[in-house]
């Protein structure tokens, strides 16, 4: 495998970031490249894209995936809001609350994408289910209310960063499948909604990358390099399991 192919995810991420602000983030870029070449994410592999596209041809599987995306986006929105409220730094706190609002909007958008792609699914019960995924802000505080320590914050931002990269890559795999299933009249709208989500994901990668870059510059480089690789390794295991689980559990639609 060539280095570019192995590092496909870091190349794509770094190019997307540079596309919005042209800024170099040398520590972050090196850490991400290191992690992606020593523990390559499954979604950087050809077999993953092929499996995803093969499964995605099945309308029932794909409808289930869109519904679970609507659910996951809403769920993350709620958790991010609670976390953002605990952060003492006003800039970072506001950034995370904004992130939470974006994810809540994504939950709504995925809900609209489901019925635009599969109009035959439209029903009061599905609308009710999709609406229940979207949190109402402000979200009530969870059991933890203390401000996170710097170490906890750094771990969280690394995890957020890797999850957002995953969202960006999977979103790019999902878009052509959604267009293939959507009726002609709805394709343009579906494409606009999914492209809007992808644009937001790049901004989510950016604020977390900026935090990671600043932490490295402040002397936490060695920790960041090993944590980023460790977390990517864990995320890889989770991702492979999800792809397999999705086959059995998403057969309830259509």
> 214: which 2 tokens?
């600043």
Which listed residue (106, 166, 181, 206) binds Fe ion by CB under 5 A?
106
Nearer to Fe ion, 204 or 206 (CB): 204
Nearer to Fe ion, 73 or 85 (CB): 73
The mark string for 115-154 relative to Fe ion (x by CB under 5 A, - otherwise) is ----------------------------------------
How many CA atoms are closer than 13 Å to the CA of 109, on its beta-carbon side? 19
Angle at 220 between CA 218 and CA 223, to 5 degrees: 170
| Smallest gap from residue 164 Cβ to Fe ion (A) | 5
* Phi, then psi, of 136 in degrees rounded to 5: -95, 130
Asked if residue 25 binds Fe ion (CB under 5 A), the reply is no
Nearer to Fe ion, 131 or 254 (CB): 131
* Run of H or E including 189: helix 187-215
Tell which residue, 149, 170, 147, 151, has the closest CA to residue 159. 151
Q: Is residue 197 within 8 Å of residue 171, measured between CB atoms?
A: yes
Which listed residue (69, 85, 201, 213) binds Fe ion by CB under 5 A?
201
The mark string for 35-74 relative to Fe ion (x by CB under 5 A, - otherwise) is --------------------------------------x-
């Amino acid at each position: 495998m060539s280095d570019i192919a192995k590092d496909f995810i870091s190349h794509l991420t770094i190019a997307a970031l540079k596309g919005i602000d042209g800024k170099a983030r040398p520590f972050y870029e090196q850490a991400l490249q290191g992690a992606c070449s020593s523990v390559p994410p499954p979604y950087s592999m050809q077999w993953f894209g092929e499996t995803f596209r093969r499964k995605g041809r099945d309308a029932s599987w794909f409808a289930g995936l869109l519904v679970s995306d609507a659910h996951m986006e809403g769920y993350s929105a709620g958790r991010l809001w609670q976390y953002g409220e605990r952060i003492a730094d006003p800039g970072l706190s506001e950034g995370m609350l904004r992130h939470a609002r974006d994810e809540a909007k994504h939950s709504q958008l995925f809900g609209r994408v489901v019925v635009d792609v599969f109009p035959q699914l439209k029903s009061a019960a599905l609308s009710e289910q999709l609406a229940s995924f979207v949190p109402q802000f402000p979200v009530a505080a969870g059991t933890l209310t203390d401000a996170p320590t710097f170490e906890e914050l750094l771990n969280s931002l690394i995890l957020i960063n890797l999850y957002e990269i995953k969202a960006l890559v999977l979103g790019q795999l999902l878009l052509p499948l959604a267009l293939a299933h959507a009726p002609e009249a709805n394709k343009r709208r579906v494409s606009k909604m999914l492209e809007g989500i992808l644009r937001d994901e790049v901004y989510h990668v950016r604020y977390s990358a900026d935090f990671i870059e600043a932490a490295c510059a402040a002397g936490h480089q060695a920790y960041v390099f090993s944590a980023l690789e460790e977390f990517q390794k864990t995320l890889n295991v989770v991702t492979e399991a999800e792809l397999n689980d999705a086959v059995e559990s998403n057969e309830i639609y259509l």
